[in-house]
Homo-oligomer: A and B are copies of this chain.
């Protein structure tokens, strides 16, 4: 795939993110996407097999960035708590940079039947596996409580971040002024750190 093709695909994907975020996947017309992207209707089908394929491509491309981030954080090798913090930071930063993308990832991607295929699950679970490794390492180092399952810890963490971003994206009564992203990020980290951490008294690490 040459450079120009990659660029054109990217233009279309970004247009699609905007359109899907605005109207939701099912209410979005492929014509809207081509208009937004500034390409002819038919061109969409030159670069992508179908409307579904566009959404799946958004997921795969962007989720890989998340996985890459986890890998990078792991290789960098600071403490487990810092590592989790960096992943959470990355997600919140992604939201600030492109709220539309997060909206699509959270609301549209998981609603598409075609999303639930083995290939995507594998990709999806790669992220969780990365988090679980961090967590497990933390347990071995005595930083995190040993009686919490890494799987559950990961799910809880993901759920907390996901639900918070949902509030930002959707809930009009959720006061964004009083509750800047930074604040939310900090509080989640605080609760999770306490929730996961080994009790402070007299344990040897």
* B-binding residues in A (CB < 8 A): 23-24, 26-27, 107-108, 110-111, 113, 116, 121, 125, 145, 147-149, 151-153, 155-156, 158-164, 166-167, 170-174, 179, 183-184, 187-188, 190-192, 194-197, 199-201
Give the chain B neighbours of A147 by CB distance below 8 A: 190
Q: Could you say how many copies of this chain the assembly holds?
A: 2
B121 touches A191 (CB 8 A): no
B149 touches A158 (CB 8 A): no
Q: A24-B113, A26-B26, A156-B164 are in contact. Are A192 and B195 (CB under 8 A)?
A: yes
Note all chain B residues with C-beta closer than 8 A to A155: 160, 163-164, 167
Are A163 and B173 in touch, CB under 8 angstroms? no
A201 to B200, CA, bound (A): 10
Chain B residue with minimal CB distance to A186?
Answer: B152
Which chain B residues lie closer than 8 Å to A174 at the CB level? 151
Pick from A145, A160, A188, A200 the residue with the most CB of B within 10 Å.
A160
Looking at A152, A173, A190, the one whose CB has the most chain B CB atoms below 10 A away is: A152
**Assembly CA distance A187 to B111 (angstroms):** 27
Indicate if the CB atoms of A187 and B125 lie closer than 8 Å.
Answer: no
**Across the interface, do A187 and B152 meet the contact criterion of CB distance under 8 Å?**
yes
Minimum CB–CB distance from A141 to chain B (whole Å) comes to 18
Identify which of B121, B159, B196 contacts A159 (C-beta below 8 A): B159
- Cα distance, A74 to B51, chains bound together (Å): 48
Which of these, B156, B163, B164, B170, contacts A191 with CB under 8 Å? B156
